[in-house]
Amino acid sequence: MGSSQTGGWKHTMTPACRRGKRHILIWLNPPIRAFSFDAGHLQSMKHALGSLSDHCTWEIVETEDAMLAALQRAEFVVCWKFKTEWYRLAPQLRMLITPAAGRDWIDPPPSERDITVIHGTFHGLLMRETLLLMMLAFNSDFPTVLTHQQNRLWERDFFSGHSRLAFQTVTFWGYGRIAGACAHILTALGARVIGVRRRPETEFDPLGVRLITPDQLTDYLPQTDHLVSVLPGEPTNTNIIDARIFSQLKPQACFYNLGRGCVCDEQALLNSLDSGCLKGAGLDVFATEPLDPQSRLWDHPRVIIFPHASAICRHYLDLFCQEFAEHLRTSLLEDKEVMP
């Protein structure tokens, strides 16, 4: 057996040609520490798989060039991005797994290849806390609270005009797994939640969320205190949230974007904030990233900015590894060469 040094820690690689062995190639080495696969994650994976781990060989690489060179022997690939032309370099590829929830960076496999592509589904558990933080900040006018504290001002009447989520309506445009996880915590706080789906199968989901189609959205915008976009960045969604949408919201509503930045007309958003039509905006994604340092969004007093970081925390890759291990376990148990 040979060993390979990667990122200051060693992992062992055995030949993938042995019968019943499945070769797993892992390329997760972005500049963000929370997204980087390390020795601890590998040990957790092996522990989760138990004896099935004996049927796996592991190869962890740091660079794109190293990943491309290793594709020929890879049957399972874990990565952040995968280009169309790379599939021809991976003749044994069975499964492509990515932590990302969005479909932006993984090109679909050729139709004639039997390759399963799996995206992470754990993000809502993390993103909902970021959304809640933003909502509570706007509901309480938290910047003013801090100003009062800094000025040693005991101003109780200031809170008299504030509302609470228990008396508000939250509308999610793009009601999928992430929005559902957010709705779980919001309904527990008493909020009325509406979810916009292209093809809702029922009128209400198990949480009591009212499910509507995009065509019905205009009927519910005037009731909405918080509009949350979790829309994907499809071409048909470009600038779909515009001045017309903002003008139909309840006066002093708040807008949040946790999906993709291209769906929001940022100039229309700024105009709605300046006019007082919107109370505030909590933004995690932007039309161009990183956000231009000259953008007025940075300095706007009623904007909260996260740098595409609503899910980033030290638990991110641990949650992904749990999902990855379960997918791998299922595949190995169904593999007749591994479990004859």
pLDDT grade for 340, boundaries at 50, 70 and 90: low
Average pLDDT over residues 2-19: 42
Assess whether the region 2-119+314-334 and the region 123-305 belong to the same CATH fold: yes
Residues 98/118, Cβ–Cβ less than 8 Å: yes
Considering the chain, what is the average pLDDT of its residues?
94
pLDDT at 1 over 90: no
Strands 9-13 and 2-6: antiparallel
pLDDT, tens digit (0-9, with 9 covering 90-100), for 212-266: 999 999 999 999 999 999 999 999 999 999 999 999 999 999 999 999 999 999 9
For the chain, the distance separating the N- and C-terminal CA atoms, rounded to the nearest angstrom, is 25
Average pLDDT over residues 332-337: 89
Cα–Cα distance, 252 to 107 (Å, whole number) = 40
pLDDT at site 125: 98
Cα–Cα distance, 155 to 140 (Å, whole number) = 13
Cα–Cα distance, 340 to 337 (Å, whole number) = 5
pLDDT, tens digit (0-9, with 9 covering 90-100), for 23-38: 999 999 889 999 999 9
Predicted TM-score (pTM) of this structure? 0.92
Superfamily of domain 123-305: NAD(P)-binding Rossmann-like Domain (3.40.50.720)
Amino acid at 212: I
Cα–Cα distance, 170 to 92 (Å, whole number) = 46
pLDDT at 126 over 50: yes
What CATH number is given for 2-119+314-334 in this structure? 3.40.50.720
pLDDT at 14 over 50: no
**211, containing H or E segment:** strand 210-212
Cα–Cα distance, 117 to 60 (Å, whole number) = 19
For the chain, the domains span: 2-119+314-334, 123-305
pLDDT at site 233: 95
Cα–Cα distance, 204 to 197 (Å, whole number) = 12
